[in-house]
Chain A
Amino acid sequence: MNTTKRVARFALPIALSLGVAMFALTPAIAKDLLTVDLVNEPSSLDPHQQWNPDSYYVYRNIFDNMVTRDDAGQIVSQIATKWERTSDTDTVFTIRDDVMFHDGTLLTPEDVVYSVDRITNPDFGSPQLGQFNKIIKAEATGENEVTLTTDGAYPALLAQLVKLSIVPKHIASTMTSAEFNEAPVGSGPYVFESWDRGVSVTVTRNEDYWGDKGPFESVVFRGVPDAATRVADLQAGAADLVVTLNTDLAQQVESGGKGKVLTVNTERVAYFAMNSARPPLDQPDLRKAIGHAIDREAIVEGLLGGYPQIVDQMLSPAHFGWADGIKGYAYEPEKARELIAGLNVAPDMELGLATSPVFDQRVVQAIQQMLTDVGLNVAINTTDMATWLKDQQTTPEQAPMLTFSRWSCACQDPDGIMYPLLHSSSNWSRVNDPEIDALLDEARSELDETRRAELYAQINRMALEDADILPLYQAAIIYGAADNLEWQPTSNESLFLNRMSWAE
């Protein structure tokens, strides 16, 4: 095999330089190599550093996580096989005793403890600190046992540990994060091989993996920023899997005869926030009118190719706590006009709608038009993403009046989405309702799952009643894949290579 590979590596550039047509198709034919087109190369392969999709698409194959989610979205064992809550704050995890890091060293509870300490150490400066800082202590309490202590009862602990990559203490503790980033060693189904900066990252199959082994001998992740180029790569057979397509390109793939579209509804919830701290939006009837003015079906079916699913709560079916039977505002423009007619809204009162090029501008403009249709004066204010984020995370008095955005906590737990958007203590929240605050605080530390789900359903009903915030839809993610690649994408937007296969 090695010789073939060496020959292939040597022959490929030469053949290409001769302009021999068929060689451009090599990756799709050679079944032992999978080529994935990401948007950009990973920012970092140190899993405790960057956590943007282009980074974790790659490193989640190099590292195992404390626990994981199966294709149905249930939390299942990975490094931890069992867990038991021994008190409101303590959870005891049993750690697998047969996991080897890629350098042949056994993974021990000490590595788990080190991984928690590393990512929660403020001096380490992890961008993911906010996801793990409820864990105040990690301790090896037995031969294969780790006890995690949280700051108060913390029901979302497991949902967060889905993202806790376990790094080897004996390696990571002896180097800086930058050094570890250049030669990451994990215990996952793929072993880091090389990183050609700016071009691609190559990983190879871990033949000694304890779990399901990967179906591809090696996998190349490339950065291809232009979505149309990613589709061309797929259609030319130069790539087997491409990420992040919009609906137009998805259509192009479907009608192109080569390649197929894979899609899944993610845990991202698109919402429309109205700033009740700034008149005239302090009038609940105006917010309700806006709810009736937005035609979500037109947005989803007309603009977004029918992929997303309309939601009526600040959650998605991919989250814990999704409740049936909650109904939002139906599209009734007449009713919206009536409501607005009875209100104190000056016709020249301009409502600013904050956005950034990151968001789908077709949706933003459609919403502007829908609100104009019912007699409101909406101005779109576009800024770059950094500025948009800064403008959002401020006091309600200074925040934009209207905002269209999508939210994901990457944890599939309602606390990660409803607390920041609805609790008055959060920078992002435009809501100031002591009753909702109290319920959110209670749900945040309620360990009884049934009771907890009820609390979130109640909060969602209350938020709808006053139209504090308008849930729009559960966003979809669209991938393009080679016809013979079998894969079921999941809501948490990970590319687990060992869950893919070639159709024979």
Chain B
Amino acid sequence: MSVFLLQRLGQAFVAIFGVMTLVFFIQRLTGDPTYLLVPETATQADIEAMRRSLGLDQPLVLQYVSYLWDMLRFDFGTSYVQNIPVTEIIASRLPYTLQLAAGALFVAFVVGLPVGLAMAIWRKHPVTNVLMGMVLGAQSLPTFWSGILMIMIFGVWLGWLPPSGSGSFAHLIMPSIALGLLSMATYARIARSSILDEMSKDYVRSARARGVGTGRLVGKHLIRNSLIPVISISALEISQLLAGAVIVETVFAWPGLGQLTVQSVQSRDFVVVQGIVLLGAFVTISVNLLADILYSVVDPRIRKGGRA
């Protein structure tokens, strides 16, 4: 177990270093923030002065070395645009991203898993066709459209929910649904196929033969055994959600990391983008690490050195 963990940690370190290097160079090769910061009437001298004050006049290699050195000391720098430390900016946005991710996951789990289960158990029942249609719909609706539609219906016409913004539980409802729909569909499909898969296995048949009722069978055996694929998907879904939901956050004016990412990329605020990408990499890697550990808890075969 500990060798396995150490290996994974080593891989994680290499991955983060790779991400750090990539994000540094990609940004600098695709544009210069100076031009966005100075007024149009700035002279060449003004532009040079601004570039000097941002440290962008240094050779790229020197910039890279000082960047790595700063990262090693956990100094993530100061935003070019807002002129405040990146850690402060990200820390102010992170709680919103966490709330939204939790809300979306809640929608996805609480709706997706039972729907998947129902579709597997009542495989030939007409209800399944209806549910299947709903899942397909949820999966196909682009969020910029479903989001605006919800805003129009519940925010403007019915006036039940605040159309956008943050600050209360009511504000969280629509963005969570908009964001959770896609994951919900994923969970429903994965749960369905995974349970169907299990249901065709021998142990299920013999359990039925022994007279175990459907409720007990599902609750005691099927769900647990079908969880492995659900956990793998969760690792992906959670890391995606935590990196911020760009479109949903923009549509609902939800002040999370996704919105910040778009703004920072557009304004070439390198330092902030670096911070967000590093955080995203860190989260993705940790969640995957966690998923690996979880597998071994759920499935002893993995813990005992079997194949994952």
Q: Which of B200-217 contact A (CB under 8 A)?
A: none
Q: Is A115 close to B, CB under 8 A?
A: no
A224 contacts chain B at the CB level, 8 A cutoff: yes
* In the complex, chain A residues 1-35 whose Cβ is within 8 Å of any chain B Cβ: 12-14, 16-19, 21-22, 24-25
A231 to chain B, nearest CB (A): 9
Which candidate, A313-321, A384-392, A435-443, A457-465, is the interface stretch facing chain B? A384-392
Give which listed residue, B33, B35, B37, contacts A393 with CB less than 8 A: B35
Is the Cβ of B253 less than 8 Å from the Cβ of A125?
A: no
A-B contact pairs, 15 of them (CB 8 A): A18-B170, A44-B82, A50-B81, A123-B53, A197-B93, A197-B255, A198-B96, A224-B164, A224-B165, A236-B159, A238-B164, A387-B31, A389-B36, A393-B47, A427-B44
- Give the residues in chain A near B93, CB-CB below 8 Å: 197-198
Pairwise interchain contact A238-B39, C-beta atoms closer than 8 A: no
Q: Could you say which of B159, B161, B252, B256 contacts A229, with CB atoms under 8 Å apart? A: B252
Give the chain A neighbours of B260 by CB distance below 8 A: 198
Contacts A22-B159, A199-B166; A386 near B268 (Cβ below 8 A): yes
In the complex, chain B residues whose CB is within 8 Å of the CB of A133? 46
Contact A229 B166 (CB under 8 A): no
* Cα A182 to Cα B84 with chains together (Å): 9
Q: Is B5 part of the contact surface with A, judged by Cβ < 8 Å? A: no
Closest A residue by C-beta to B42: A130
Complex A-B, nearest 9 residue pairs according to Cβ-Cβ distance, in ascending order: A198-B255, A197-B92, A16-B170, A13-B168, A389-B35, A386-B31, A125-B53, A224-B253, A17-B169
Contact-residue size bin, chain A (C-beta under 8 Å from the other chain):
35 or more
B2 at the interface (CB under 8 A from A): no
A127 to B37, CA, bound (A): 6
**Size of the chain B interface, CB-CB below 8 angstroms:** 61
Q: Find A236's partner among B85, B155, B255 (CB 8 Å cutoff).
A: B155
Q: B52's closest neighbor in chain A, by CB?
A: A125
Whether the Cβ atoms of B168 and A238 lie closer than 8 Å is no
- Is A244 part of the binding interface, using a Cβ–Cβ cutoff of 8 Å? no
Using A127-B50, A178-B84 as known contacts, say yes or no to A232 and B156 having CB atoms under 8 A apart.
yes
In whole angstroms, how far apart are the Cα atoms of A12 and B168 in the complex? 8
Q: Report yes or no: A387 in contact with B30, Cβ–Cβ below 8 A.
A: yes
Question: When A43-B82, A129-B46 are in contact, do A223 and B171 touch as well, CB less than 8 Å?
Answer: no
Partner of A177, one of B49, B83, B152: B83
Closest Cβ of chain A to B146, distance in Å, is 13
Chain A residues with CB under 8 Å of B37's CB are: 127
Residues of B within 8 A of A16 (CB): 161-162, 168-171
> Quick one: which of A119-146 are within 8 Å of B by CB?
122-123, 125, 127-131, 133
Closest CB-CB distance, A227 to chain B, in whole Å? 11
Measured between beta carbons, the chain B residues less than 8 angstroms from A122 are 49
Task: Confirm or deny: B7 has a beta carbon within 8 angstroms of a beta carbon on chain A.
Answer: no
Q: Mark A379-401, 1 if CB is under 8 A from B, else 0.
A: 00000111101100100000000
**Is there contact, CB below 8 Å, between B44 and A49?**
no
Q: Tell me which residues across on chain B come within 8 A of A50, comparing CB atoms.
A: 81-82
Q: Is A490 an interface residue (CB 8 A)?
A: no
Q: Is A46 an interface residue (CB 8 A)?
A: yes
Question: Per-position contact with A for B9-53: 1 when CB-CB < 8 Å, else 0?
Answer: 000000000000000000000111101111111111011011001
